Amino acid sequence: MTDPFFSPKGVAIIGASHDPHKLGYGALRNLIRYRYRGGIYPVNKRSYEILEKTCYPSVSDVPDPVDLAIIIVPAPAVAETLRECGERGIQHVVIVTGGFSETGPEGKIMEEELLAIAKEYGIRIVGPNCIGTIDTHTPVNTTFVVGMPEPGEIGFISHSGAMVAAIIDWASGSGIGFSRIVSLGNQIDVNETEMMRTIALDPNTKVITGYIEGVANGQRFLKEARKTALEKPFLMLKGGKGESGAKAVASHTGALAGSKEAFQTAFRHSGIQEAETIEEMFEWARAMAWQPLPKGDRVAVLTNAGGPAILAVDALEKQGLKIASLSVETKAFLSKRLPEASSVNNPVDVLAGSGPATYTLALEALLSDDNVDAVVVIQAPQDWFLPVSLAEVVGEVAGSHHKTVITSIMGKASVEEALKILQKRKIPNVAFPERSASVLAAMINRRKWLEEAKDGSPERIKADQNKAGEAVHDANWAELLKVYGIPFPDQREAASKVEAIEIFKSMSGPVAMKLLSDDISHKSDIGGVILNVKTAEEAGEAWDRIKKAAQSSNGKLKGVLIQEMISEAPEVITGFVRDPQFGPMVLFGSGGTDVELYKDVDMAIAPLTKVQAHKLMRRTKVYQKLQGWRNFKKCDIEAVAQVLVALGQIASDHPQIGELEINPLVVLPEGKGTKAVDVRGSLQAEN
Amino acid sequence: MTDPFFSPKGVAIIGASHDPHKLGYGALRNLIRYRYRGGIYPVNKRSYEILEKTCYPSVSDVPDPVDLAIIIVPAPAVAETLRECGERGIQHVVIVTGGFSETGPEGKIMEEELLAIAKEYGIRIVGPNCIGTIDTHTPVNTTFVVGMPEPGEIGFISHSGAMVAAIIDWASGSGIGFSRIVSLGNQIDVNETEMMRTIALDPNTKVITGYIEGVANGQRFLKEARKTALEKPFLMLKGGKGESGAKAVASHTGALAGSKEAFQTAFRHSGIQEAETIEEMFEWARAMAWQPLPKGDRVAVLTNAGGPAILAVDALEKQGLKIASLSVETKAFLSKRLPEASSVNNPVDVLAGSGPATYTLALEALLSDDNVDAVVVIQAPQDWFLPVSLAEVVGEVAGSHHKTVITSIMGKASVEEALKILQKRKIPNVAFPERSASVLAAMINRRKWLEEAKDGSPERIKADQNKAGEAVHDANWAELLKVYGIPFPDQREAASKVEAIEIFKSMSGPVAMKLLSDDISHKSDIGGVILNVKTAEEAGEAWDRIKKAAQSSNGKLKGVLIQEMISEAPEVITGFVRDPQFGPMVLFGSGGTDVELYKDVDMAIAPLTKVQAHKLMRRTKVYQKLQGWRNFKKCDIEAVAQVLVALGQIASDHPQIGELEINPLVVLPEGKGTKAVDVRGSLQAEN
């Protein structure tokens, strides 16, 4: 239970100060100013009273009830202070003081001491080197930062204290309300994963947002984040995306799976939606807190001016949303009620002269139309009526439907009052209409994720674990894949003409015969490759021709490779890597030698279900090709999904394998399966 | 000369009104309220005085000097009013009245009448169906929209009146000043191209911005826009990007060259920088108006907090900018002056306790470092000093250097005063640090464009125009390309073994021999293709083998194609299309059958210079491949440039050709040239 960080019964401020320039002053001031209703107990040996509150010489002197302490004493004194808290029975502590592991190894040693004391007394710590916690509903503000956000539905956790300070300052002017805010600091105890669960369980929090720079434990994060996102919208800004320095790259797969991609994969798996900017994150959060998710992607635009509607439509289409086709009834109704020159197609343009009544009728009609999932209401500045009236009617009409409504009442100076009304009515407003698109897209993505999140558990593929273990031990990847049912082209080497004919007879169907020689590189150029050999007689002839070709090129014939004939078909790359944070990830994408040029690949957390395998494939461009492309028929996509599932299972079953890559995996027409033409892998050092 | 639209000697408001709900009231009010200093002459038969200004029964009664009329009478009366203006000698007219071509064919006829009258009297018209013009320096505001932007350096032209109204309202609160604003309406006379020139010539305008939905004349726009962008930064938001409906697609090239891509190509050619959103456009504009362009792409970040700096660095790297490596001297200086735990690497973190003096020293050091082209100064909210002091010192230090400085003083409520100081000091501030990246990238892109804009004129390739004309007439594209020096693989057909040997002897080097047959499709599979035939004897043998292969497949041998042997090499697509607006455009990109899957193609306006050809190639991913990729050596990129130049010239020389496409163009190693393996084209209907 970490709830005393947000609804304490009493708070001791150890290191409270008279001096307005000290943090110990700010924290005390904030508890008082932002109306914390429990006991507020400044602790300072040298004072009797600070800010009209009785001051205590030591935390042991603080009266009951008190279950939270804020420690703001110099770093060397923190350990002793923490012990005093333990003795006093305070089990929740925010350590604001900095100067620990962020300054070097000595600070790290001090942190370990703190952690030992905390374990001894059962104390939970937020920090050190943090700003503290805020709950606007309790209310309590344990930070020293001036300002208190308005109460709202958004929770925010942050690895950066400065970001918390900036958000508090910014929020007060932006009409975005918060439920809980936490600065995690060096998180020696409570980390982002535990805190996100605490906030998810807060009934006042409808949306969880965060700024994180990393995760304490990748596997645990994955599990808890997914649980959280299934309950509430979960939005994240990830700091530190650049690749730090060069890294050894052993394969395509390794080169394509950077830390940025790993985080994206982990976030996608968990249902965390990653925003690009701070504003975007909170714009998404506000809309998800205030409006229902759209049931589909069909958007209607209602406007009093053409240009702004065009920008909105461009942006919506760029985000992949659909411009709704209005029903015949809606169009008929609008034709009757709107001014003559109005457009009754989507975007619906009521023209400059129309007022809130016209908007009301049009919005009512659009929200009643079964072809419409969401409406963007645009108002370009005009002199005909007060924007507040529009805000009122939009709020009222939207309130009687269960569809998503976003407004863009444009302008600044003239619309402030209107924006306040929209805020009260829980209608998110964007300053410019094109910004509605990213908000709606985020909402629709959440709905889709929720719908598809019931993936079930990965089904197990039956594989002989003895054989598999042996193959792994021998690093015989081809054999390992066979154990897991991933088909290879049938092939064998012949050392003589007689053997070649024997081998041909033992194989089914036509074969390709290829010169084996150490001296000759471009075998097909000299006639060393003969395709589509269909009879034993042809096989013998082919042997002779290959032998002759080798002779005329002065090369030494080592033998002939006889390979099951694979007709030309799309090639993909697949495999798995192990991310140091999040564990094994299955990779899929366009194969061949250009894979690193186009980077048409994506990843998913292993092991995966068939459904997840299909979703992974759909995120690549090559998927289009597998569905039938130019002279290629529709491919055996189901068989590819099976390979992905098998690879995910291999990754789970055999932690000794560091990486495995099939490139190319040839994908045959529907019902014909796949062929792993080439496979590479590497073992990793035992842990 | 269209300057009386912005600095008239006297203005007649025809249709001026007492009624505050009428546009004729608003326009008069704005001239008075926003302090136009010339004569203001309301014209209205039924009034003696409006808003304390003498009213005239007709425009003919208005006293001198008057050189601009605003017409706000009902549509049917506009023509007569315009004629009266002509008789009165007024040659500049803003027609605010709507109800013309935007309502249908009848309105279109009325517009033609207006244009005829305008020609008769030499009148220049802005509108009809527009909002009017603003010059904040004159000052004059001919619009009826409440509000007047602060004087500034940004000019704005718009095809949407609503957008103008929204910008006026928004600008008053945003600290972004404007020089001139024009709403173009139906632009029956003055169009966006002419207006952008007028604004470019305005000495108060440092940056030109625009919202356009199309161009009146593509070729003229291209020429004038390029001239404009060479003089001043030119930023544009394009409305209406979605493709309207399906269109017939005859080739890859056609499918890849949509109207959106055509506009992007035209904008790029002209040096117009296209923004994604309204805010982005004005954020770019403000920075370009206020700050010098960075000389390079090396950015230093100065901050008092880690998190916000990380977001800035992520965003800068995403935009392709470099995080500057500071000089040894700078680091030594910073180590001495900054608090102990500060980071003296970039980002430079002065830590939370530092004040404006520390920022001063650090910023001075960074701006003095030759390794730094631009500095982003971040201030996360703090309680140590007033943000205004930081604004002052940043303004002062930046003012004594000639490098780009952008601030991100974060927060809202607490920093308003600081933002006003930055505005005065012409330091652009972004609300969140990550937004600095797009601004700096836009500035650097402008510098690059200016540097590379001195492309010179396309050099002419010598080509026999008689032969070329004949080839075009016959639609013999292979022949046409040869005339322009684009090499084909040498190839001829043999009908007999003797002929095959003859042909072999006439060709230089090894050949490929391919079965010609109407019955057999997979020729290589049945042994119908023999590569790398090196001697006449081998050619004879190959004939026999191909004949046998045809027989054993029960196919009819029509002959054998003998083709110069082309070793495996990267393949590209190239060609040209004709955009209905902007004329011929040369296309280049990844070739082969996957071209439409990856869409790794780009375009350039034809004809083009070698420099432009190289720039076009550099915009594609396949360019990387041409520079040497895996088993391929560095390719003959210069030869590809030559092909692009030739295609551009063909497009110019032969307007009868609608499209031409080479796919694939095989690009051989350096010094070996290219081979156009396949070419297709189409003639277009004569104009």
CB contact under 8 A, A410 and B631: no
User: How far does A223 lie from chain B, in Å, by closest CA?
Assistant: 26
Write down the pLDDT at residue B179. Answer: 97
Mean pLDDT across B492-514: 89
- Confirm or reject contact between A121 and chain B (CB < 8 A): no
Write down the pLDDT at residue A669. Answer: 93
- Confirm or reject contact between A524 and chain B (CB < 8 A): yes
Q: What is the DSSP string of B136-169?
A: TTTTEE-S-SS--PPEEEEEEEES-HHHHHHHHH
Q: Among A558-562, A614-618, B43-47, which stretch is predicted with the lowest mean pLDDT?
A: A558-562
Q: Residue B591: which pLDDT band, with cuts at 50, 70 and 90?
A: confident
Listed ranges A487-496, A545-554, B274-283; the one with the highest mean pLDDT = B274-283
Tens digits of residue pLDDT in B541-558: 889 888 888 887 788 888
Please state whether beta strands B674-676 and B657-667 pair in parallel, antiparallel, or not at all (unpaired): antiparallel
Nearest to B432 among A165, A277, A631 (CB): A277
Instruction: Please tell me the distance from the alpha carbon of residue A590 to that of residue A262, in angstroms, as a whole number.
Output: 19
Residue A275 with chain B: CB contacts under 8 Å: none
Q: Is residue A258 predicted with pLDDT exceeding 70? A: no
- Confirm or reject contact between A593 and chain B (CB < 8 A): yes
Nearest to A169 among B160, B278, B414 (CB): B414
Dihedral, A244, A250, A252, A257 alpha carbons, nearest 10:
-40
Listed ranges A411-415, B590-594, B639-643; the one with the highest mean pLDDT = B639-643
Q: Residue A151: which pLDDT band, with cuts at 50, 70 and 90?
A: very high
The pLDDT mean for chain A works out to: 90
Q: Residue A275: which pLDDT band, with cuts at 50, 70 and 90?
A: very high
Residue B622 with chain A: CB contacts under 8 Å: 597
Write down the pLDDT at residue B247. Answer: 34
The pLDDT mean for chain B works out to: 90
- Confirm or reject contact between B537 and chain A (CB < 8 A): no
CB contact under 8 A, B532 and A530: no
CB contact under 8 A, B411 and A166: yes
Nearest to B314 among A144, A239, A631 (CB): A239
User: How far does A82 lie from chain B, in Å, by closest CA?
Assistant: 25
Q: Residue A522: which pLDDT band, with cuts at 50, 70 and 90?
A: low
CB contact under 8 A, B174 and A434: no
Q: Is residue A247 predicted with pLDDT exceeding 50? A: no
Residue type, A19: D
Q: Is residue A41 predicted with pLDDT exceeding 70? A: yes
Write down the pLDDT at residue B121. Answer: 97
Q: Is residue A242 predicted with pLDDT exceeding 70? A: no
- Confirm or reject contact between A625 and chain B (CB < 8 A): yes
Residues 365-404 of A with CB under 8 A from B: 380-384
Dihedral, A637, A642, A646, A647 alpha carbons, nearest 10:
10
Tens digits of residue pLDDT in A152-170: 999 999 999 999 998 888 8
Write down the pLDDT at residue A455. Answer: 62
Q: Residue A36: which pLDDT band, with cuts at 50, 70 and 90?
A: very high
Question: Which residue carries 């796949």 as its tokens?
Answer: A674
Determine what percent of chain A is predicted with pLDDT higher than 90: 70
Q: Residue A687: which pLDDT band, with cuts at 50, 70 and 90?
A: very low
Nearest to B172 among A237, A412, A621 (CB): A412
- Within A311-373, strands assigned E span 322-323, 348-349
Residue B173 with chain A: CB contacts under 8 Å: 412-413
Q: Residue B388: which pLDDT band, with cuts at 50, 70 and 90?
A: very high
Instruction: Give the up-direction half-sphere exposure of residue B486: CA atoms within 13 A in the CB hemisphere.
Output: 30
Residue A306 with chain B: CB contacts under 8 Å: 160, 162
Write down the pLDDT at residue B525. Answer: 64
Residue A283: name the closest of A154, A413, A447, A420 by CA.
A154
- Confirm or reject contact between A412 and chain B (CB < 8 A): yes
Q: Residue A250: which pLDDT band, with cuts at 50, 70 and 90?
A: very low
Mean pLDDT across B654-678: 92
Tens digits of residue pLDDT in B402-434: 999 999 999 877 788 898 999 999 999 998 999
What's the token pair of residue B599? Answer: 């869409």
Other C-beta atoms closer than 10 Å to the C-beta of B417 total: 12
Nearest to B166 among A170, A384, A410 (CB): A410
Instruction: Please tell me the distance from the alpha carbon of residue B195 to that of residue B182, in angstroms, as a whole number.
Output: 8
Q: Is residue B310 predicted with pLDDT exceeding 60? A: yes
Tens digits of residue pLDDT in B117-164: 999 999 999 999 999 999 999 999 999 998 899 999 999 999 999 999
| Cis peptide, bond prior to residue A607, ω within 30 of zero | yes
CB contact under 8 A, A213 and B310: yes
Alpha helices in B232-355 (DSSP H): 252-256, 259-270, 278-290, 306-318, 328-337
Tell me which of B302, B314, B552 to substitute to probe the interface with A (most A C-beta atoms closer than 10 Å).
B314
Tell me which of A25, A160, A379, A552 to substitute to probe the interface with B (most B C-beta atoms closer than 10 Å).
A160
Mean pLDDT across B273-290: 95
Determine what percent of chain A is predicted with pLDDT higher than 70: 95
Give the residue from chain A lying closest to B526, CA to CA: A532
Other C-beta atoms closer than 10 Å to the C-beta of B525 total: 18
Element containing residue A470 per DSSP (H, E): helix A465-473
Q: Is residue A604 predicted with pLDDT exceeding 50? A: yes
- Is the backbone of residue B79 left (phi > 0), alpha (psi -120 to 50) or beta? alpha
Q: Is residue B249 predicted with pLDDT exceeding 50? A: no
Residue B624 with chain A: CB contacts under 8 Å: 597
- Confirm or reject contact between B30 and chain A (CB < 8 A): no
Nearest to A381 among B166, B411, B624 (CB): B166
Q: Residue A239: which pLDDT band, with cuts at 50, 70 and 90?
A: confident
The residue with greater pLDDT, A521 or B251, is A521
What's the token pair of residue B344? Answer: 């003296």
The residue with greater pLDDT, B432 or A454, is B432
Q: Residue B685: which pLDDT band, with cuts at 50, 70 and 90?
A: low
Mean pLDDT across B261-272: 93
First to last CA, chain B: 33
CB contact under 8 A, A173 and B412: yes
Instruction: Please tell me the distance from the alpha carbon of residue B223 to that of residue A410, in angstroms, as a whole number.
Output: 34
Question: Which residue carries 């709202």 as its tokens?
Answer: A152
Q: Contact, A577 vs A584, CB < 8 A?
A: yes
Write down the pLDDT at residue B337. Answer: 92
Q: Residue B27: which pLDDT band, with cuts at 50, 70 and 90?
A: very high
Q: Is residue A453 predicted with pLDDT exceeding 60? A: yes
- Domains of chain A (ranges; CATH) run 10-239 (3.40.50.720), 292-452 (3.40.50.261), 490-564 (3.30.1490.20), 571-683 (3.30.470.20)
CB contact under 8 A, B242 and A158: no
Write down the pLDDT at residue B412. Answer: 77
- Confirm or reject contact between B341 and chain A (CB < 8 A): yes
Write down the pLDDT at residue B458. Answer: 74
Tens digits of residue pLDDT in B615-644: 999 999 999 999 987 777 899 999 999 999
Q: Among A59-68, A661-670, B356-365, B625-634, which stretch is predicted with the lowest mean pLDDT?
A: B625-634
Determine what percent of chain B is predicted with pLDDT higher than 70: 95
CB contact under 8 A, A162 and B279: no
CB contact under 8 A, B314 and A242: yes
Q: Contact, B115 vs B79, CB < 8 A?
A: no
Instruction: Please tell me the distance from the alpha carbon of residue A384 to that of residue A355, in angstroms, as a whole number.
Output: 7
Nearest to A307 among B160, B411, B629 (CB): B160
Instruction: Please tell me the distance from the alpha carbon of residue B290 to that of residue B282, in angstroms, as a whole number.
Output: 12
Mean pLDDT across B19-32: 94
Please state whether beta strands B124-126 and B92-95 pair in parallel, antiparallel, or not at all (unpaired): parallel
Nearest to A162 among B146, B315, B380 (CB): B380
Q: Is residue A664 predicted with pLDDT exceeding 90? A: no
CB contact under 8 A, A162 and B21: no
Nearest to B279 among A147, A432, A526 (CB): A432
Write down the pLDDT at residue A260. Answer: 83
Q: Is residue B670 predicted with pLDDT exceeding 90? A: yes
Q: Contact, A477 vs A646, CB < 8 A?
A: no
Tens digits of residue pLDDT in A84-117: 999 999 999 999 999 999 888 899 999 999 999 9
Q: Residue B593: which pLDDT band, with cuts at 50, 70 and 90?
A: low
- Confirm or reject contact between A533 and chain B (CB < 8 A): no
